[in-house]
Amino acid sequence: MAVAQQPSRPDVYRLYIDGQWVDAASGETFENINPATGEVLGVFAKGGEEDARRAVEAARRAFERWRKVPAPRRAEILFRAAELILQRKETLARQMTQEMGKVLAEARGDVQEGIDMTYFIAGEGRRLYGYTTPAEMPDKAAMAVRAPIGVVAAITPWNFPFAIPTWKIIPALVAGNTVVFKPASDTPWMAYEFVRILEEAGLPKGVINLVYGPGSTVGETLIRHPEVDLISFTGSSEMGRHVAQVAGADLKRVHLELGGKNAVIVMDDADLDLAVEAILWSAFGTTGQRCTAGSRVIVHRAVRDRLVDELAQRTARLRLGNGLDPETDVGPLINRAAVEKVHSYVEIGKQEGATLLVGGEPATEGELARGNFYKPTLFVDVKPQMRIAQEEIFGPVLSVITVEDFDEAIRVNNGVAYGLSSAIFTRDVQKAFKAMRDLDTGIVYVNHGTIGAEVHLPFGGTKATGNGHREAGAAALEVYSEWKSIYVDFSGRLQRAQIDEVKVD
């Protein structure tokens, strides 16, 4: 494939449109900042409306060819991409820690999730199962096949800057769609590396297009463009509502993956040591910046004091720092605005009457002053209706709610607008099964925290977490393809279903 390649560290990271690395039409650029140090990691072309339109047009042209490439052949390119990601795992993880801030072990996990997803979904190239079924008329065949939808706009967040783009783009491609990819402006480097890998793996021009830039220009153009058939968006519920409203006016397909307010329930018979480990990991892993983060603990009164003592001690001992330092437990928040948002929620929690036990302020000692660090924070005496127990904070803030029994725990868990992930710690098999039935979330864990979903199971949530779709697993194909039912009549005569009688003798 003769495509002009960009060096791995260009002066300006360009947009990728119709198989070419190009500057933004406006010539504008923006800086990519390391959230731990404030250092500039690279200068990126700042796409706008015109670039987004050109990308959509390129994707539309490419669709006519790509949809006809046999799916196993499409998948061969994706398998090659998976191999390239695997080869570059360590480099990508180090870049990710610098760009996004998560600690290196977690950055490796993020890349690994992308590898797993790419291999798993590439395997669908030789499945993409539809089905055949008998027709009700004689000499007639009936089958349902999966057809691609067209041009997909993939609008992705910064918190899983490698994994989440693979969740959207790889299934879109295997199913025969073409893509315009708009990554979050905080993590354009990971997007650049991913698209370079797809290019190297041999994806034809126009099949993947990359436009960095603001949601207000690039994102808006994509969601409004008549040639975009499907929008897959991960981000806030507020933005999700906007995307759904705009796209709904044109009856575009929309897949939304939005907020969470996930809880870990700890019953009186739980293994408390295990629960503490899991809660710390769920609440403060990725600095609380996962949709699946556990931001509420719902604890049975009988074990409340023991659990809180242990959580408070352990939370206070977590080490903040640069994620490249192996001593670091918790990295920075993504940007200044995130620090302010998290801090405003801490103020709200105090005003609402919750007791602040640990943290509750930005961390500015020594080197930390250069980055966006916030102390891991623990609130107790939280009431289920308080805003800190209802709204997604997306930072290292954990709220402990005390309950009297199992039924109340389930009610409190379900008493929020969101429904992504939930967890229960109990040794009672009856309670465990009741919880599996009654927890109103798309993901339920028993004796495990709220994070760590695996790629071959459906991922997504109920209520305001989404719009009923799931990504990951084979369920992703439901988003990225449409059912086409095909009837073949080989009787040689007009046979009217539901009207003509069929003689059986």
Helix, strand or coil, per DSSP, at residue 450: coil
**CB of residue 391 to ligand UN1, shortest distance in Å:** 17
In this structure, what DSSP letter does residue 205 have?
T
Q: Please report how close the Cβ of residue 183 comes to ligand UN1 at its closest, in angstroms.
A: 14
Catalytic residue among 99, 193, 199, 257: 257
Looking up tokens 């983060």 gives 293
Tell me which residue of 368, 499, 387, 456 sits closest to 170, measured CA to CA.
Answer: 456
Site string for ligand UN1, 232-271 (x = CB under 6 A): ----------------------------------------
How many angstroms separate the CA atoms of 410 and 263, rounded?
A: 10
State yes or no: residue 445 binds ligand UN1 (CB under 6 A): no
> Of the candidates 232, 249, 289, 262, which has an alpha carbon nearest to the alpha carbon of residue 467?
232
Q: Which of 66, 119, 158, 160 binds ligand UN1 (CB under 6 A)?
A: 160
Please indicate whether residue 482 is annotated as part of the active site.
Answer: no
**Rounded to an integer, what distance in angstroms lies between the CA atom of residue 178 and that of residue 195?**
13
| 473: three-class secondary structure by DSSP | coil
Q: Given the rule CB under 6 A, which of 142-150, 221-229, 390-398, 449-457 is the region that contacts ligand UN1?
A: 449-457
Instruction: Show the tokens assigned to 207.
Output: 């099949």
Contact characters 163-202, ligand UN1, x per CB under 6 A: ----------------------------------------
175 vs 145: CA distance, rounded Å: 11
x/- site string to ligand UN1, residues 93 to 132, per CB under 6 A? Answer: --------------------x-------------------
Nearest distance from residue 167's CB to ligand UN1, in Å? 9
**Strands (DSSP E) found in 420-480:** 421-425, 443-446, 462-463
Strand locations in 173-322, DSSP E? 178-182, 208-210, 230-234, 253-257, 262-266, 294-300
Is 264 within 8 Å of 287 (Cβ atoms)?
no
451 near ligand UN1 (CB under 6 A): yes
Shortest Å, Cβ 137 to ligand UN1 = 48
Is 340 labeled as catalytic in the residue annotation? no
Per CB under 6 A, the segment of 83-91, 214-222, 288-296, 308-316 that binds ligand UN1 is 288-296
Taking the complex as a whole, how short is the minimal distance between the CB of residue 236 and ligand UN1, in angstroms?
12
Residue from 32, 95, 292, 295 in contact with ligand UN1 (CB under 6 A): 292
Task: Check 57, 99, 106, 291 and give the catalytic one.
Answer: 291
CB of 235 to ligand UN1, least distance (A): 9
- The DSSP result for 81-143, as a single string, is HHHHHHHTHHHHHHHHHHHH---HHHHHHHHHHHHHHHHHHHGGGG----EEEE-SSSSEEEE
Interface with ligand UN1 (CB under 6 A), residue total 9
- Choose between 332 and 360: whose C-beta lies nearer to ligand UN1: 332
With beta carbons less than 8 A apart as the criterion, state whether 479 and 255 touch. Answer: yes
DSSP state at residue 336: H
Minimum CB separation from ligand UN1 for residue 104, in Å? Answer: 17
Binding to ligand UN1 by residue 280, rule CB under 6 A?
no
Site residues (vs ligand UN1, CB under 6 A)? 113, 159-160, 290-292, 451-453
Active-site annotation, residues:
257, 291
